[in-house]
Structure 1
Amino acid sequence: MVMKEQILGILTCLLALFGCKSESCDVRALCVRDEIGNYIIKWETNPVIKGIAKLYVSDVPDKFDMNHPAASTSIEDGFIRYITSDNIQRKYFRITFNDHSPQDVAARYTFMDNIQNFRDVGGYKSKKGRQVRWGKLYRSGNIHNFSEQDSIRLIEAGIKTIIDLRTAHEVKEQPIYFPNTQIIHIPIPCGNKEEMNQRILENKVRKRDGTLFMEDAYIRFIANNTEDLGDVFRILLDKKNYPILISGELGKDRVGLFISLLFSMLDIPQESITQEYMSSNLYIDPSFMAKTVSALSTDAQETMTVLLSVNESFLNIAYREIENRYGSFDNYRETGLKISGKNRDRLKDLLLK
């Protein structure tokens, strides 16, 4: 899980991705949350301006009492803290600069007891300056073993639909149930994980076997599962299904590829698409495999590390496969995923503001 000492690094690598133009200045702001529940909201302005930054707080996105700021500070400070001992109830923030240039931010990652890689994909800006809505679409690993507090956090997120991308075998081994939530299974295999895991345990893998396995899996996502990915998009077209959680085993490969395809449709810049995809490496805690890994050979340990992480090259291979098979992403959208231009625009209306 994300450690406290990683927060500064997360702030640094993400800050440039969230901007909002106003007539007076260009503002970039973001928010992170620690394990206790406290928030840090950080910003930069270009050009540098002086004055007062005001912070407004809400329990739901897009609804703020603009008559009562929760806190204020000098714009030049560059950050403000919102202190709370509640690590269950999620907060949304709007920050203004001299009562102009409002920025809506929230903490992307939610600390969970037993759910890996749970996060909100809101906040990213499109090429035309529209923002992915907060609190509409989440992603995560398997929620099978959720704790009581995890359950409360999921309820607080208001999730109505869980799209489970695991295979029938994975679902049988670890079925999921969550009250008052529709669960839709769209199985997308991620290679023969059972066989690969057995080879790892028997130390029958060589250097780069893990990389080759994952590259092949991403090619197969496009070659064999485009229709399934299209089915996920069609669920997103129905506004009654929101908020939606898309989950997988660790929520990094099948889920990561789908979110990248969605962001491509929403005209999110490639830098942000890559950043969102690679963020899984920050939010997956591999310690659950520590005892197993310690007994493995060096090559087997390397293979296991690859299987527990994401690499930009995997995503690139999937997009090269799209180019090879369909000629362009737009043609893939139209003829492969079968998402028309009209439905693409509907997705933008549902997910962008």
Structure 2
Amino acid sequence: MFKASKATKALLSTTILVSALASGASAYAAAAPAQAKKAGEFVSASVDRSSKGNLIIHWKANADLGAAKIYWSTSPDNIEKNGKLLAQTYTGLNGYMAKDPKPGYRVYFKVKAGNGATVTTAERKVNLQGAFNFRDLGGYKTTDGKTVKWGKLYRAEELGHLTTADLEYVQRMGIKTNVDYRTDAEVKAMPDPVLAGITNIRTDEGNAGATADLMSMIQSGMMKDEASAVQMMAGFNKQMVDAPKFYVQLMELLNDPANIALVQHCTAGKDRTGLGSAIILLALGVDGQTVMNDYLLSNVYREEANKKTIEGVKQQIKDENVVAAITALMGVQKEFLQAAIDEMKAEYGSIDGFLEKGLGITKQERAKLKAMYLE
């Protein structure tokens, strides 16, 4: 019989899925498609961290913009005014590598060309040792040419593995509100840390969670092969749309300026959090393909941890079909999120209809969200 270790259980997130179902759902650094821009503007930018800890700033422009200045700051607001000059370079080089200007802090960059064109960017993944899937939703383009602000909206997995240095790092990020989607059983197993200045809010408090484990799911036939796992996850996402109380509360919190910046998380940071992130981006006007790309990034950030867990699973379960099912459960697939999108359209006529009728977001509230989180 397969007995999952504590780490495996956390990664598989099996209790999450079963309890949510039982209660009625009580390319790397993907960027948005380039918006139509007049010649002489930046069209995209991103930041990667090398194995040695150096930061590589990438950018693309639709013309040669000549000389450029790169500014940095530990705040995403008014970087050029409140930050410091990192370097002077040329936009035609399409990038610049530098040592981390402030180790232990989250850093944001602004690239300014000689013609006045600018672009702001940062690492999408937050640089933590105890969390693989803690990331920023900033930098994505909307269909009307706006950009999601950096440093205001985060998505993450469980926070109980954060190191002491991680906790200090997170506290410096200026996060005000931590939204936890987990059940009582999950929270008891791995409580969130209490940090000064950050309010922890539970959306699923009072839901004890189911006691079913991975073995019982396999024996019941729910996890007999990859197709059954995909079907189960698609159904889980549909149920979260049909009973969206988590996201009604999320939208209410986002509409209150006192909650900026906000992080939302579950256990693996890919299912409940994945749909929550998709809803946020859709409400802000980000196009569907970009939303899907962000959803699928969980496969990138959880890849190494998932590989290690699957190797352990293979040592104890010899049925290749069951291993394929568990592998599917640990990741995300297009079909999962697409099932939720399709359910929104089937039940409410459109995504906008779901936002307005399913979540109760008025046009005025949506306009307020855009004013708060876009630039």
Name the CA distance, whole Å, in 2 between partners of 1:33 and 1:295. Answer: 36
Name the CA distance, whole Å, in 2 between partners of 1:211 and 1:122. Answer: 29
Matched-pair contact (CA < 8 Å) for 2:175–2:263: yes
Structure 1 gaps, min length 5: 1-8
Name the CA distance, whole Å, in 2 between partners of 1:25 and 1:65. Answer: 18
Q: CA RMSD in A?
A: 2.6
Residue 283 of structure 1 aligns to which amino acid in structure 2?
Y
Matched-pair contact (CA < 8 Å) for 2:313–2:323: no
Tell whether 2:79 aligns with 1:64: yes
- Shift of the 50–221 alpha-carbon distance from structure 1 to 2, 3 Å rule, reads closer
SS of residue matched to 1:100: coil
Deviation at 1:26, TM superposition (A): 4.7
Deviation at 1:103, TM superposition (A): 0.4
- Shift of the 351–20 alpha-carbon distance from structure 1 to 2, 3 Å rule, reads farther
Tell whether 2:201 aligns with 1:184: yes
SS of residue matched to 1:10: coil
Tell whether 2:99 aligns with 1:46: no
Name the CA distance, whole Å, in 2 between partners of 1:134 and 1:308. Answer: 28
Matched-pair contact (CA < 8 Å) for 1:36–1:86: no
Q: Percent identity?
A: 26
Which of these residues, 114, 123, 131, is aligned with residue 147 of structure 2? Answer: 131
Tell whether 2:259 aligns with 1:259: no
SS of residue matched to 2:361: coil
Tell whether 2:231 aligns with 1:209: no
Matched-pair contact (CA < 8 Å) for 2:35–2:143: no
Residue 342 of structure 1 aligns to which amino acid in structure 2?
Q
Name the CA distance, whole Å, in 1 between partners of 2:180 and 2:143. Answer: 30
Structure 1 residues 258-314: Cα deviation after superposition (integer angstroms, max 9, x where no partner): 111111111111121111111111111315524234321212211111111111111
Which of these residues, 18, 22, 27, is aligned with residue 43 of structure 2? Answer: 27
SS of residue matched to 1:264: helix
Residue 76 of structure 2 aligns to which amino acid in structure 1?
P
Structure 1 residues 217-273: Cα deviation after superposition (integer angstroms, max 9, x where no partner): 11111122x133111110111111121110101111111111111111111111211
Which of these residues, 183, 197, 217, is aligned with residue 214 of structure 2? Answer: 197
Deviation at 1:92, TM superposition (A): 0.7
Query: What TM-score results when the alignment is normalised by the length of structure 2?
Result: 0.83
Alignment-derived partner of residue 118 in structure 1: 134
**How many residue pairs were aligned?**
340
Alignment-derived partner of residue 236 in structure 1: 254
Structure 1 residues 299-340: Cα deviation after superposition (integer angstroms, max 9, x where no partner): 221111111111111111111111221122222222211111
Which of these residues, 292, 315, 337, is aligned with residue 294 of structure 1? Answer: 315
Matched-pair contact (CA < 8 Å) for 1:188–1:221: no
Structure 1 residues 34-58: Cα deviation after superposition (integer angstroms, max 9, x where no partner): 35432111122223x1621221111
Deviation at 1:60, TM superposition (A): 0.7
Name the CA distance, whole Å, in 2 between partners of 1:267 and 1:86. Answer: 33
Correspondence list, 1:1-353, <5 A? 10=28, 14=30, 17=33, 21=37, 24-47=40-63, 49=64, 51-65=66-80, 69-84=85-100, 87-180=103-196, 181-187=198-204, 195=212, 197-199=214-216, 205-207=223-225, 208-224=227-243, 226-284=244-302, 285-287=305-307, 289=309, 290-296=311-317, 297-353=319-375
Matched-pair contact (CA < 8 Å) for 2:65–2:115: no
Name the CA distance, whole Å, in 1 between partners of 2:322 and 2:220. Answer: 6
Which 10-residue stretch deviates more, 279-288 or 299-308? 279-288
Matched-pair contact (CA < 8 Å) for 2:42–2:118: no
Structure 2 gaps, min length 5: 1-26
SS of residue matched to 2:355: helix
RCO greater where, 1 or 2, for CA within 8 Å and sep 6 or more? 2
Residue 356 of structure 2 aligns to which amino acid in structure 1?
E
- Shift of the 212–194 alpha-carbon distance from structure 1 to 2, 3 Å rule, reads farther
SS of residue matched to 2:291: helix
SS of residue matched to 2:28: helix
